[in-house]
Chains A and B, each alone.
Chain A
Amino acid sequence: MDKHLLESAVRKGMEQGASFCEARFFEERGSNILVENGAAKTLGSGILSGMGIRVIVDKRWGFASTNAITPTDVERTLSDAIGGARSIAAEGVEEAEVVDQKPATDSIAHKVKTNPEELDPEYKVRVLLESDEAARTYSDRVKDTFTTYRDAVTTAVVHNSFGTYVEEVTPRTYVYCRVISKEGSNMQTGIEYGGGVGGFEIVSHLQDEQFSRKAAEKAVKLLSARSPPSGTYTVVVDQRVGGLFMHEAFGHNCEADHVLGGQSIVADKMGDKVASDIVTIMDDPTMPKNGHFIYDHEGVRAEPHVIVKDGTLVGFLHSLESAAKLKARPGGSARARSHQFPPIIRMSNTYLAPRDMTFEEILEGVKLGVYLTGMNSGYVETQKGQFTCRVEQGWMIEGGELKDHLRDVGINGLTLDALKSITAVGKDFKMEAPGTCGKMGQGIPTDAGAPHFRIDGIVVGGR
C-alpha cells in the first residue's frame, strides 16, 4: 500500500473543509477448497482491495469507497465523500462528532505457525480428503459429506486526521464439515467446524480432534431424534448455544449505535440490574479467537469490555462517534467488512463469564426441561428485546437427567426476562463458535462462548 496516497487523501480532505477525515486501505487475499463426497470439487481464490474514505464536513458524515487505488480515483472518492456530506446538510441530520484521540502509530502482523499461502494446494486437498474420508466412513447411513476450507489474509491500514497510522495484517483459517445422513425418507444434518486467527495449524488441530467424524456422528444420531415439545421450559444450554444467546439476545443491545438510535432495550438502563447476580458478560477483542484484533478500523487500540458485572449493566461498545455523544472511552469496537463499508460498532469475542457449578449440578433440580447444544442461527429485534436462536439438537431433561434426543429446535425469549431468569452458571467455559455476524449489510468475524448455564421460562418451538 502506498502510504502517500492515504496521507494525501486525509490532508486534502482537511484542506477541503473536513473537520475529521479518515482514509482506510483494505485488502483480503483468500483461497477456498470444497471437498464433496471424497473429491476436491472446486478450488478457488479471490482478492478484494480498495480504499474507503470517511469525512465529517459541516457536521455531517460522508463516506465513499473505490476498488481502484490510483491518485485520480482516490481524489474522486474523497470528492464523493465530501459531496455526500454536504448534500444532506439541509435535511435535518443529527450532527456528527468524534471524540478526540491521541495519534497512534503501529504495525501489527499476527503470527501463524503454518502459513496457508506457502502450502501447495494439493497438500491442502490431501489433508481435507482425509477429513472427508473420516466422515464418509463413519456409517452406511452417511449420505453426503462436504468439507469446506477457507483461508484469508486481511490487511487493514487506517490513517486519520488525528495523525493515527496503524496497519494490521490478520490471517484467518476455517474448516467446516457438513454431513447429511439418511434412513428411508428421514434425512438429518450434522456440522462441525472451527477456525479463527491463525494458519493451517487450525485444520491440523481440528483433525486431531476428529471434527469431521463428530459431524457424521451427530448427523447419524439425529436420525433417531424426535421433534421437540412446544411450550415454555427451563432450558440448559451448552457453550455454543450460550455464546449465541449472549451475542444475539444481549450483545447487540449494547452496541452504542443501537443505544443512540433508540433501537436498544437497555438504552436507559446503565447502572441498573438487568440480569441475575451470577451474570457477568464480556466482549473481549484481545482474546486470540475469531473476533480478535489489536486495532479497530478507526485506529483505536482494542480493550476488553465489561458489559454486565454481577447482573448490573456497566458498559456499552463504542465507536469514536458514540463515545463522543455518550461521554465514554471508545475502547476499539468499530469495524468494517471491507473498504466498501464505513466502520460501525461490532462485537468481537462475546461471552458469559464462568462461575463454579458442574454440568451435573446445573441439571439437578430440573424436573422437566430441555438441554440444547450446537448453534445454528439467531437474530434479535433489539428495539423490542425479543430474540430467536435455532440450535442443532437437544435432549429432554427429566428429573435432572438427559432423556429423549431432540432435533430442529428453536427458542425464543424476551431478553431482559431471560437474563434475570439465569439460575445457574457452570465453570466449563469454552469459546468455540467462530462465525460471521451480520449488521447493516456487513458480515464481520466474531466468536462467542459461555460455560453451561440454565435459564427458566424460555419458549421452545416444536411441532
Chain B
Amino acid sequence: MTDRERGTDLTAPVERAARLLSRGGLDFFDVYASYSRSMRITIMGKGIKDTGSSTDVGLGVRAYKNKGLGTAYSQSLNPMDVEETTNRAIAYARAAQPDPFFREIPGPSKAPDVGGLFDEKVAGLDMGKVGKFAKEMIGAVGDVRPGAMHDGGVSAGCTRSYFVASTGVSVKDERTILSASIAATYKQGQDTGSSFEFEYGVSLPEVDFAKVGKRAAEKAVEQFGSRKVESATLPLVIVPEPASSVFFGLMAAISGEQVVKGRTFASSLLGNQIGPEWLGIHDDGTLPGAVGSATYDGEGVPTRRMSIVDHGSLKTFLHNSYSAGIAGVETNGHAQRGGYGVYVGAGPTNVTVRPGDSSLDEMIAETKRGILVTGADFAPSMVTGEFSSTIDEGFLIENGEKKHAVKNLMAGGHILDLYRSMDMISREGRTFGKGHFFPSVRLSAVRLSGD
C-alpha cells in the first residue's frame, strides 16, 4: 500500500455516516468501512496465465430500532452515497420486526495491541515480485518431476478498516495477507497423479513458495496407481490438513446464534465429554502475527485465549454479543464481520489442538489395515452432525505400512463418533497462517463406502 493509498480517507465517510445515523432516532447503530488493495498472479496449465489487481472500498451500516435490524452497504464513499446508505438502513430498521433475542451491541473496551498483523514488505510488493514468487513455485514443481500441468496462484493484499458504534466503540485496523496455492497434475499413460498444496500468512517469511510447489509435486506423484478398495469399517490415520476439517466442523457448530438457539448438533454438549481425556483445543485471537488474530473482534470486543475442549470436555461456545445475550453470558470476543457487507457472525480465530506423543509413522505402523487420509473434507451438517465425505486423497495401510493410493472411496458417519473414536494424536503437526495448529489423528473405526 503506497502512502497515497494509505491516505484514502475512511474517517470522514464513517464519521459522516455516524452523524447521520445519530439523528435517525435509532436505538443502536454501527458503521464499518474498509479499503483493500490486492494483486494476484493466476497459474494455469504450463505456467503463469495472467495478472490482476483490485482496489476495493466500501461502507456498511447496521441500524437497530425497537430491536429490528436494518442494514445497507455501498462501494462508494462519496457523501451522497453515504447518506443514501444510512437512509436505507434507517428505513429498513423501522420496517423490521422486533427480534426478542436482541439485547444491545457492545460498548468500548481497551486491549493491548496484538501486533504483527501488518507487514510492510507484503504491502510494498509489486506485481513483478509476486510474479517471481509464482515462478519459484512452478519451478519447484518441475524440480520434483517435469511435465506438470498447474492450477493455482499467488496473491498479496492489505486492508485498512475503521469501525465505530453508537456505544462509543472506535477501532482502526490495518493488516496484510499473502497466500500461495498450486495443484500439480501429471499424466502417465491413462493414469493421473494430482495433488494440491497451499500456504498463507500475514508476513513474507510465512510463505515458502518453493516448499509449496515441491510438496504439491511430491504428493501428486504419489497418487499414481490409485485403486478402489472394498467397503469396510476401518481405522483412519488423518494428516493435519484434512484433520483440520474435523476440528473446524466442531468450531462452526459451537459458534454464535445457531448453537445457542439449539440448531446445531453441539447445542447440548456444553460441559460434556466429547473426546478422549487427552484432547485439548484452544482458540486464541491474540497470537502476534497470526492470520486469525485481531486486537478486537468484529464488534470491538477484545479477543482472548480460551480453552475450548479440555481433557476431552467441551468448555465453552464462541460468542458474539447477540449469541451471548441469548445465553445470558458476556460475549467472549468471537464476533466475525464479513467486511462492509455488514453480516456479523461468530466463529473461531486461531485454533490450536494440543499435540500428543505419537508420530505419524507410529500411527501407521500400529494400524493393521486402514486408510491414511491426506485429502478430505469431513465438514458435517451443522444440524445433524452427519457427514458423507469423499477421501479425495489417501492410501491403503496394510500391516503397518503405507501401500497404494485409493480412489472412489467415501467415509460416512457422525462427527461426534469421529471424536469418540480418536485413539492417537501426533506430537508433530502443521501450523497454518502462524496461528492454527493441527496434529495428525488416528480414528479407530470409520465406515467406508467403496467397491
Contact = CB atoms under 8 A, between A and B. Distances in A.
A461 B412 contact: yes
B95 A459 contact: no
Nearest to B55: A66
Given A62-B51, A408-B388, A461-B412, A180 B383 contact: yes
A92 B48 CA distance: 7
Contact of B47 (A91, A189, A407): A91
Interface size classification for chain B = 35 or more
Contacts of A386: 390, 392, 407-408
A461 B89 CA distance: 46
B51 A63 contact: yes
Given A187-B384, A386-B408, A463-B413, A43 B92 contact: yes
Contacts of A81: 53
Interface string A45-82: 11111100000000011111111100001000100110
A349 interface: no
B49 interface: yes
A40 B388 contact: no
B103 to A, nearest CB: 14
A144 B342 contact: no
A43 B450 contact: no
A88 B412 contact: no
B127 A88 contact: yes
User: Could you say which of A43, A83, A384, A462 has the most chain B C-beta atoms within 10 Å of its C-beta?
Assistant: A43
Contacts of A260: 44-45
A383 interface: yes
Interface in A256-297: 257, 260-263, 265
A91 B341 contact: no
Given A41-B96, A87-B128, A187-B384, A410 B76 contact: no
A44 B92 CA distance: 7
B149 interface: yes
A84 B383 contact: no
Given A44-B342, A45-B72, A87-B127, A67 B44 contact: no
A91 B127 contact: no
B299 to A, nearest CB: 16
Interface in A168-203: 180, 182, 185, 187-189
A410 B410 contact: yes
User: Could you say which of A62, A68, A80, A93 has the most chain B C-beta atoms within 10 Å of its C-beta?
Assistant: A93
A388 interface: yes
A68 B57 contact: yes
A460 interface: yes
Given A43-B96, A180-B383, A462-B447, A65 B390 contact: no
Contact of A62 (B50, B70, B268): B50
Contacts of B44: 94, 257, 260-261, 263
B411 A461 contact: yes
Interface string A404-424: 000111101110000000000
Interface in B18-60: 39, 41-42, 44-58, 60
B97 A64 contact: no
A196 B383 CA distance: 27
B383 A462 contact: no
A386 B406 CA distance: 12
Interface stretch (A16-24, A227-235, A430-438, A446-454): A227-235
B408 A390 contact: no
Contacts of B194: 381, 383-384
B127 A84 contact: yes
B449 A460 contact: yes
Contacts of B45: 94, 260-262
B48 A93 contact: yes
A82 to B, nearest CB: 10
B403 interface: no
Contacts of B56: 67, 340
B185 A262 contact: yes
A121 interface: yes
Question: Which 5 pairs between the two chains have the least Cβ-Cβ distance?
Answer: A262-B149, A410-B388, A461-B410, A61-B50, A84-B51
Interface of B: 39, 41-42, 44-58, 60, 68-76, 81, 85, 88-89, 91-93, 95-99, 126-128, 131-132, 134-135, 138, 149-151, 183, 185, 187, 192, 194, 223, 231, 261-263, 265, 268, 341-342, 381, 383-384, 386-390, 392, 407-414, 447-451
Interface of A: 36, 39-50, 60-68, 73, 77, 80-81, 83-85, 87-88, 91-94, 96, 121-122, 125, 143-144, 180, 182, 185, 187-189, 227-228, 230-232, 257, 260-263, 265, 340-342, 381, 383-386, 388, 390, 407-410, 412-414, 440, 459-463
21 contacts: A41-B99, A43-B69, A50-B75, A60-B51, A67-B56, A68-B55, A85-B51, A87-B126, A87-B127, A91-B132, A94-B45, A94-B46, A180-B263, A187-B263, A228-B388, A230-B231, A383-B185, A386-B390, A459-B409, A461-B389, A461-B411
Given A80-B53, A87-B51, 12 more contacts: A41-B68, A43-B71, A63-B51, A64-B54, A67-B56, A93-B49, A232-B231, A262-B185, A340-B56, A383-B194, A414-B408, A463-B412
